[in-house]
Structure 1
Amino acid sequence: MAGDSHSAERSVERTLGHLRALDSPSAQIPAQPLTLEDLYRQQRMRMVRLAILLVDDPATAEDVVQEAFTGLYRNWSGLRDAKAAIGYLRTAVVNGSRSVLRRRKTAREYQPPHQTDARSAESLAMLTSEHQAVVVALGQLPRRQREVLVLRYYGDLSEAEIADATGVSRGTVKSTASRGLEALQKLMGN
């Protein structure tokens, strides 16, 4: 079973690492202070991809990110530096995605469930079949497991940063990642 878990971890790491590399091959934060406009240009697409991986709908992801930047604008004067702004954005995107998923769940209780694949053809066409299988399996995981795996392997965050972004303890992050990788392994049939 430990070998299976490592296989799922390698698949997730390859897929989300591939997406991360496509999004920002060298997104370094400059030493000089950034303006909100600079931050928007540098981080917007990365935050949209993060939201897409969490909510599985490009239009909704755009809305979540726009709300995150609006919140950042309102709180801009209270931030310490650009790294704090990026952390604020990441947390706002995760929380906004959670809200979207809660609203979807509530809406499904009142309407018959239906399956739609909201991913754009372009985004899936850029991925190999193995990568596509990983993205599909991620979409089937419980919210917290998906969040932790996406933040770890796409966001390239440490356990402490994930704990901060999601509002859970580091131990919960570690156990959630482990359970998520096991669930992915089962979903992918490896």
Structure 2
Amino acid sequence: MTIDGVKQALSFDELVQSSERRLLRLGLMLTGGVHSAEDLVQTVFARAHRKWARISALDHPEAYLRTMVVNEFLSWRRLRRYGEVPVAETADQPSGEDISARQAQRDAAWRILSGLPRQQRAVLVLRYYEDLPDSEIAEVLGVTPGTVRSNASRGLETLRNKLPAEEEH
């Protein structure tokens, strides 16, 4: 934030308030579950708080937090250790419409997406949900843009091959 051309650093609380919802949505897309996304983002905020003096000096601390969320997701062993499998969560209140087919499609998509290797899944989420270009995805993941493109290609090919036959019509 700037005041009269002078950069004013956000406080940690201000950054949490301004970025929490976006990071939770990113976490949800990566993990597939609200509770797992909350755990992921909370872990990142706890680590960011310890490094706040360094993070607050950055030009774009929000982008740094996004990178932390993706990296934490990629290295998270808790999901495997406890046998958790990310699944789409159903709405808390019925909408009055018959949503069984839509929910079945959503569940199938989450199952297929959750079956991808973490790197491919992260690339697809950053590309199609966060709408980042390959160069930024490469920077977030610490890989080359060519690796991003090959992961995206492999991930999309897997998704295409696993789509239910009735989805293709």
Q: TM-score, normalised by structure 2?
A: 0.74
Per-residue CA deviations over 1:82-102 (Å, capped at 9, x if unaligned) read: 52x1222112111221233x3
2:136 counterpart of 1:161: yes
Per-residue CA deviations over 1:46-87 (Å, capped at 9, x if unaligned) read: 11121122222322221211121222222222234452x122
Q: Distance in 2 between matches of 1:43 and 1:98?
A: 20
Q: Which residue of structure 2 lines up, in the alignment, with residue 119 of structure 1?
A: 88
CA contact (8 A) 2:124 2:152 kept: yes
| Structure 2 residue ranges without an equivalent (≥5) | none
Match of 1:70 among 43, 46, 49: 46
Q: Which residue of structure 1 lines up, in the alignment, with residue 120 of structure 2?
A: 145
Q: CA distance change for structure 1 residues 31 and 155 in 2, over 3 Å: closer, same or farther? A: farther
Q: Which residue of structure 2 lines up, in the alignment, with residue 96 of structure 1?
A: 72
| Structure 1 residue ranges without an equivalent (≥5) | 1-29, 109-114
Higher relative contact order (CA 8 A, sep 6+): 1
After superposition, the CA RMSD in angstroms is: 2.9
1:142 maps to a residue whose letter is P
Q: Distance in 2 between matches of 1:116 and 1:76?
A: 32
2:21 counterpart of 1:45: yes
CA contact (8 A) 2:116 2:155 kept: yes
CA contact (8 A) 1:58 1:118 kept: no
Identical positions, percent? 37
Q: CA distance change for structure 1 residues 116 and 140 in 2, over 3 Å: closer, same or farther? A: closer
Q: Which residue of structure 2 lines up, in the alignment, with residue 35 of structure 1?
A: 11
Q: Distance in 2 between matches of 1:116 and 1:73?
A: 29
Considering only CA atoms, is the larger Rg found in Structure 1 or Structure 2?
A: 2
CA contact (8 A) 2:74 2:119 kept: no
Question: Which shows bigger deviation, 85-94 or 171-180?
Answer: 85-94
CA contact (8 A) 1:64 1:96 kept: yes
1:86 maps to a residue whose letter is E
Question: Structure 1: which 4+ aligned runs deviate by more than 4 Å?
Answer: 115-118, 125-128
Q: Number of aligned residue pairs: give it.
A: 152
Q: Which residue of structure 2 lines up, in the alignment, with residue 112 of structure 1?
A: none
Q: Which residue of structure 2 lines up, in the alignment, with residue 129 of structure 1?
A: 102
